Amino acid sequence: SVSSTCTRTCSAERSPNTISGSAARKAEASVALARARIAAAEAAAEQAEAALARARVDLDKTVLRAPIAGTVLRINARPGEYAQPGAAEPLIVFGDLSALHVRVQVDETDGPRLVPGAEARGFLRGDGTRSAPLAFVRLEPLARPKRFLSNAPGERVDTRVVEAIYRLASDALPVQIGQMLDVFIAAAPRGPALAAR
């Protein structure tokens, strides 16, 4: 028949840009799948960026930063060691070496003769020929139990001390941080003995 031939011929002569309904549905499904994959990839990228930011924060917590410029004097911890919070011994001993200070312990019996601002001189232990002047900084307001002993005959060990802080020029003596000095302070003369009541 002429009409069936025309239908087949007309169908075959359709535009190349037209597709059947099932092909269109298949293409739409492919587009939707591609969009879903793009959204999943974007979400994975965001998660990776968040994980990277978290890792940077965690890494930053492992870096020690000093509040001031100075020198690390001692490290009491090694990589991989457990660092207990509130440990008696500090993990790092850190100091500013631009100004050296000497903590002088004065026996409480000599405390009344200690005058703030008094001149002082520091001597290397075992070498009385090398000394340097010390500049008064301050007196500590609290008397403390004696911690450092000179091992001198007749030295009292069950006493308290007043601490005077003096500054030592960093190039005045060849000293190490923590080294002990013999310090002589110009003291006020002893007053008259108190009368017994």
State CA 163 to chain mean position distance.
Answer: 28
Least confident of 10-19, 97-106, 180-189: 10-19
The single-letter code of the amino acid at 143 is A
Select from 166, 146, 167, 168 the least CA-distant residue to 157.
Answer: 146
Q: Could you give the CA distance from residue 63 to residue 2 in angstroms, rounded to a whole number?
A: 89
Average pLDDT over residues 34-57: 95
On whether the pTM is more than 0.95, the answer is no
Average pLDDT over residues 102-124: 88
Q: Which two tokens stand for residue 70?
A: 């100075």
Compute CA distances 114 → 110, 117, 145, whole Å: 7, 9, 17
